[in-house]
Amino acid sequence: MKHVKIGVIGLGQRGYSVLKSNFLKMDDVDIVGLCDLYEDRIERAAEAVKEIRGYTPYCTRSYEEIFGIEGIEAVYVATCWETHVKISIDSMRCGIP
């Protein structure tokens, strides 16, 4: 089974909920990167990934660093509307849907 490598950008209520309720329940999805401006949100999400999957993904406060993760295939953007569009466009410009 092919695994899709994804990053999650924005780990507030919506991003964290989708990570826990969806992505971590999908056996064919590998969480390779986590990003948020707030360190406590990153730590909470990283702990959830470690608990459920047994590994800690790359963690950063800079969304641009997520795009540079080797093998990343997609990102889920769950930021506020003021940054959501820019991050999504930047992601597509890097070739990541």
Summarised one tens digit per residue, pLDDT across range 59-68 is: 999 999 999 9
Which two tokens mark 69? 């993760």
Q: Are strands 58-60 and 29-35 parallel, antiparallel or unpaired?
A: parallel
What pLDDT does residue 58 have? 98
Residue 61 neighbours by CB under 8 Å, 6+ apart: 35, 36, 37, 39, 42
Q: The pTM is what?
A: 0.95
Which two tokens mark 72? 């990343």
8 A C-beta contact, residue 47 and residue 18: no
What pLDDT does residue 1 have? 73
pLDDT digits (tens, 9 = 90+) for 6-49: 999 999 999 999 999 999 999 999 999 999 999 999 999 999 99
Task: Please give the angle made by the CA atoms of 46, 96 and 72, to the nearest 5 degrees.
Answer: 45
